[in-house]
Amino acid sequence: MGSQAYTEMTGPASGAKVITDPRYAGPLQEVGKALAAAANKPDYQWEFKLIDDPKTVNAWCLPGGKIAFYTAIYPVLVDTDGMAIVMGHEIMHAILEHGNERMSQNLTSQAVMAAAAVGFSNSKNGEYVVAALGAGAAVGVLLPYSRKHESEADQQGLYLAAKAGYNPEAAVAVWERMAEMSKGKRPPEFLSTHPDPLNRIANMKKWMPKALEYYAASQKKPNQKLAMPPGVGAK
């Protein structure tokens, strides 16, 4: 499913403009190969694509190691250390099988909702009960479950980047820039699938001593400034 979705989202028929210019896509390939080696998942078929989209600040990894970064995230990353932090996070979502778990959670929620709809079908207030149950499931279960996944990927992704030879201290600056970029645009944390950037920064600092141990034992990679793709300006 991951491979099929990757083709649908980045292949020729998707309309996505994949950048292959080594000035911009080269660092993505280098960082990706280094993290893939550190992840040690020989059954994964790794791919790394840079998509030309100066408005979408995003990156993701599908099951099986299919990774995409959007050009708008480059000003947040700034350099290859920052790129490794974000890529490590996305890779760990795939390795920890968060996509599978979220699918199971959503299917379970849908089954409960369907059962509730049948059970209250003869009640004049039935539609309101079902609507309330849906909101309760989203806020009480699915969103916190997603935030738990994000925190797990933050921690393990930080360690993965450090093991691959990238300075984990870059994580704090990455999330500071993300917090500044998203200021005034995010919903309250309890209504979001992602933790608040300030909370992520606090967690990164808490995990940093162990990450630095991994980094000290690694074959360190030189940190390189990222060239900003056309239409994307560093802030």
Q: What is the CA radius of gyration of the chain?
A: 20
Alpha-carbon span 171 to 200, nearest angstrom: 9
What Å distances lie between residue 181 and 35, 76, 178, 199, CA to CA? 26, 8, 5, 15
* Active site amino acids: 90
Cβ proximity of 97 and 63 under 8 Å: yes
The vertex-92 CA angle with 5 and 174, nearest 5°, equals: 105
Cβ proximity of 226 and 71 under 8 Å: no
Alpha-carbon span 166 to 75, nearest angstrom: 18
Neighbouring C-beta atoms of residue 44, cutoff 10 Å: 18
Instruction: Provide the 3-class DSSP secondary structure of residue 51.
Output: strand
Q: Which of 38, 78, 74 is nearest to 217 (CA)?
A: 38
Question: In this structure, what are the phi and psi dihedrals at residue 206, rounded to the nearest 5 degrees?
Answer: -70, -40
